[in-house]
Amino acid sequence: MTPPVPIPKEAVAYFAAKKLKIGFDHRDVWNEEHQTSFTVAKVTELDVLADVQTSLLSTLQEGFTFDQWRARLRPELEKKGWWGSREVVDPETGEIAQTDLSSPGRLRTIYQTNLRTAYSAGQWERIRRTKRVLPYLLRTVGPSIHHREEHLAWHGTLLPADDPWWVSHPCPGGYGCRCNNRQVGQREYEKLVKNGVPSPGVQELDAKTGLPTGRLIRRPIPAQTTPPKDVLIEWKNRRTGKTELIPKGITPGFAVAPGAAARKASLARVLTDKLDSVAEPLAKSIISRWAQGDTLRAWLDKPEGTMPIAVLKDAQAEAIGATTHVVQISAETMAKQVGRHPELTTADYLSIPRVVDLGRSVRDTDRSMLFVLDEEPGYVAVVKSTMTGAGLFLTSYRRLSRDAAKRVRTLRQLLKE
């Protein structure tokens, strides 16, 4: 037997925290809900579901192979009558369906999907902790014989670890997906940009016969340092009635990266996409209500990744070269803010949408704009556009002094930042 290969503790912690949830159909438990719930389609008894989860948790902790896991699970399922074909009732329709939890193909899918997802969640937690040293991720296809066309196109994508693209294009991106995200430091990033990324490999053909030799030719291909363009497809979950847009190449239900940090990033991505998809007045109304909710307060208490914080007028966004009107704030900026302005409270930060909406705007540079709300209390916010124009970020925020002279000096100092 293959010796056990333990999976990182972060992956074990992620899987162990999942709560049991009955789902007759795999579409009954969806996207983010999969990150906090453990389910197996058509397993309608909690004790059986608990047995499967416990056995998988042991596999994560001890590194059992598929055959070892299946052999350990079989006696438990046999005792409860779940080894072999049986009838189950769909609670939604009342229809009777056949299910076979012992099917090798089904068990292998359960084993591989849960272990790969847990490993990915653990990787996300490590990325969050180490991204200052290894700030980039490189996407490569795995050792599968056949690859999805879109996954091959994403091979060689090289982006900052906190780029939203990673959240909507997770690994695994579907059943059987074996793609990988690898952390990369600044020096290797520059080398990959200069020299390219090894290709997934092209089958070598014999010059005389024209037949495959069995060897792969791996030539360097350019690294993709901008997010690949997606083709979004509309997919309706017929169990819930909800319709969503997902990138072509991602299996429905896999469109959100696992793990706590990824879930927060997913929330930010979903809200940002929503704000960018509606007209400016409605976007401002949404962000104003959002600023009064508990989620933003929780993020401000423990910042991770980025979070939408304000909406610019279309003319303001255009003036500084932005193609979005959604202003985000990053965990790095919050760390800087706490160091420079410890006097600011959560209530001060929750005022940012109002400062940007009602404050007098002054363009600072081609890429930045100041917002001054001259009231009691007054504030100054600085918003900058990224070089590509695809992002807007709050880079500085502070109160205005009551003293007019100090206020002028503060503004002058801001113009230098």
**Inter-helix orientation angle 66-79/104-130, to 10°:** 120
Number of independent structural domains in the chain:
3
- Residue 385: how many CB atoms within 10 A of its CB? 25
- Whether the per-residue pLDDT at 404 is higher than 70: the answer is no
Q: Examine residue 211 and state whether it is found in any structural domain, yes or no.
A: no
| pLDDT value, residue 405 | 38
Q: Helix (H, G, I), strand (E, B), or coil: what is residue 369?
A: strand
Tokens of 143: 């050792």
| pLDDT value, residue 245 | 72
78 CB-near residues (< 8 Å, 6+ apart): none
- Whether the per-residue pLDDT at 164 is higher than 80: the answer is no
Check if the beta carbon of residue 204 is closer than 8 Å to that of residue 217.
yes
Q: Do 121 and 142 reside in the same domain of the chain?
A: no
| pLDDT value, residue 260 | 52
Q: Examine residue 213 and state whether it is found in any structural domain, yes or no.
A: no
Q: Examine residue 380 and state whether it is found in any structural domain, yes or no.
A: yes
Rounded to an integer, the average pLDDT of 127-153 is: 87
Q: Of 260, 277, 294, which closes a domain?
A: 277
Interstrand relation of 19-20 and 37-38 (parallel, antiparallel or unpaired): parallel
- Whether the per-residue pLDDT at 310 is higher than 90: the answer is yes
Alpha carbons 360 and 363: distance in angstroms, whole number: 10
Q: What is the pLDDT of residues 256-275, one digit of tens each?
A: 666 655 555 555 666 777 67
Query: Alpha helix locations (H) across 248-330?
Result: 260-277, 280-290, 294-301, 314-319
Domain that holds residue 156: 131-201+218-277
| pLDDT value, residue 21 | 77
Q: Do 145 and 233 reside in the same domain of the chain?
A: yes
Q: Do 407 and 390 reside in the same domain of the chain?
A: yes
| pLDDT value, residue 370 | 93
Rounded to an integer, the average pLDDT of 325-337 is: 90
Q: Examine residue 294 and state whether it is found in any structural domain, yes or no.
A: yes
> 208 vs 18, 166, 204, 215, 273, CA distance in Å?
57, 44, 12, 15, 54
Answer positive or negative: Cα dihedral of 55, 57, 62, 68.
positive
Strand partners, 215: none
Alpha carbons 107 and 387: distance in angstroms, whole number: 48
Q: Do 271 and 289 reside in the same domain of the chain?
A: no
> 389 vs 141, 322, 370, CA distance in Å?
30, 4, 17
Q: Do 284 and 411 reside in the same domain of the chain?
A: yes
Instruction: Grade residue 344 by pLDDT with cuts at 50, 70 and 90.
Output: very high
In the chain, how long is the greatest CA-to-CA distance?
86
- Whether the per-residue pLDDT at 348 is higher than 80: the answer is yes
Q: Of 69, 100, 129, which closes a domain?
A: 129
Q: Do 250 and 317 reside in the same domain of the chain?
A: no
Tokens of 387: 């070089």
Q: Do 232 and 251 reside in the same domain of the chain?
A: yes
Which of 363, 359, 348, 356 shows the shortest CA–CA distance to 399? 348
| pLDDT value, residue 20 | 80
Q: Examine residue 206 and state whether it is found in any structural domain, yes or no.
A: no
Tokens of 299: 């993020």
Q: Examine residue 148 and state whether it is found in any structural domain, yes or no.
A: yes
Rounded to an integer, the average pLDDT of 123-152 is: 87
Tokens of 369: 């704009």
Q: Examine residue 209 and state whether it is found in any structural domain, yes or no.
A: no
Q: Of 277, 304, 326, which closes a domain?
A: 277
| pLDDT value, residue 222 | 93
DSSP string, 133-196: TS-EEEEE--S-SS--HHHHHHTTBEEETT-THHHHS-SS-STT---EEEEE-HHHHHHHHHH-
